[in-house]
Amino acid sequence: SLFNRNMADPRAERTFLAVKPDGVQRGLVGEIISRFEKRGYKLGSRQIRLVVEPVKILIFFLQPSKDLLHNHYAELSSKPFFPGLIEYMSSGPVFAMVWEGTDVVSVGRKMLGATNPRESPIGTIRGDFAIDVGRNICHGSDSVGTAEREIALWFTPDEVVSYGLAQKKWIYE
Ligand code: GDP
Ligand code: MG
């Protein structure tokens, strides 16, 4: 099969990306996916998890629980903005993804831009589409270790997939 479950290449670097509730509401899921696709990175997660609400479109999304978000942002729990961050992140569906490719963690962070969109260069996702730090539309893991932790938190092993990208030899030398 061209599409195998549980056969993730252990050497491939992976990152966890999420379009936050504001990015989903503002119709930026396609734009963010498109930038990673055009860069040459490979989508490495399936999006078929059923969520609690019986609304069909949510099949592609994950409505994160507060428990999941407390875990995800554990290191920020003492910050004054933490309660607002949890409210913001749980306010609607999130489009969670795994992306794979060389240095995808650090390059992905550069593509997202700075945490504060107003300090983020034009051309980055946050620099092009956001204004406030508390509405910065996307998440990306900040290190390879964090990425592993976040992927395991947000996805079951079965949802992380492996397949060959036909254009690989035209992207990598
Ligand atoms: P990131 O890795 O660039 O997403 O930034 P952090 O891990 O430092 O913070 C996680 C998220 O918390 C950010 O993306 C913002 O949505 C939010 N955040 C960070 N700092 C602030 C802040 O000073 N004020 C508010 N309101 N939100 C913040
Ligand atoms: Mg972070």
Task: Check pocket membership of 165 for ligand 1, CB cut-off 6 A.
Answer: no
Index of the ligand 1 atom closest to the CA of residue 89: 16
Q: Where are the beta strands (DSSP E) in the chain?
A: 4-5, 14-19, 42-43, 95-100, 138-140, 161-162
In this predicted structure, the answer to whether residue 70 has a pLDDT above a threshold of 70 is yes
Query: Which domains are assigned to the chain?
Result: 19-161 (3.30.70.141)
With both helix axes pointing from N to C terminus, report the angle between 104-112 and 29-39 in degrees, rounded to the nearest 10. 130
Which of these ranges, 5-14, 60-69, 148-157, has the smallest mean pLDDT?
A: 5-14
Task: Check pocket membership of 77 for ligand 1, CB cut-off 6 A.
Answer: no
Task: Check pocket membership of 121 for ligand 1, CB cut-off 6 A.
Answer: no
Nearest to 43 by CA among 90, 92, 108: 108
Index of the ligand 1 atom closest to the CA of residue 142: 2
53, two tokens: 């609400």
In this predicted structure, the answer to whether residue 53 has a pLDDT above a threshold of 50 is no
Q: Dihedral (C-alpha) 34, 36, 108, 165: value to the nearest 10 degrees? A: 160
- Residue 79: CB atoms within 10 A of its CB come to 11
The CA-to-CA distance between both ends of the chain, in Å, stands at: 25
In this predicted structure, the answer to whether residue 37 has a pLDDT above a threshold of 50 is yes
Ligand 2 (ion): residues with CB under 5 Å are: 142
Binned at pLDDT 50, 70 and 90, residue 56 comes out as very low
Binned at pLDDT 50, 70 and 90, residue 156 comes out as confident
Give this prediction's pTM.
0.89
Task: Check pocket membership of 114 for ligand 1, CB cut-off 6 A.
Answer: no
CB 125 within 8 A of CB 49: no
Q: Is 115 annotated as a binding residue?
A: yes
Which of these ranges, 11-25, 43-57, 59-73, 136-150, has the smallest mean pLDDT?
A: 43-57
In this predicted structure, the answer to whether residue 45 has a pLDDT above a threshold of 90 is no
Best mutation site among 71, 78, 85, 129 for ligand 1 pocket (most ligand atoms within 8 Å of CB): 85
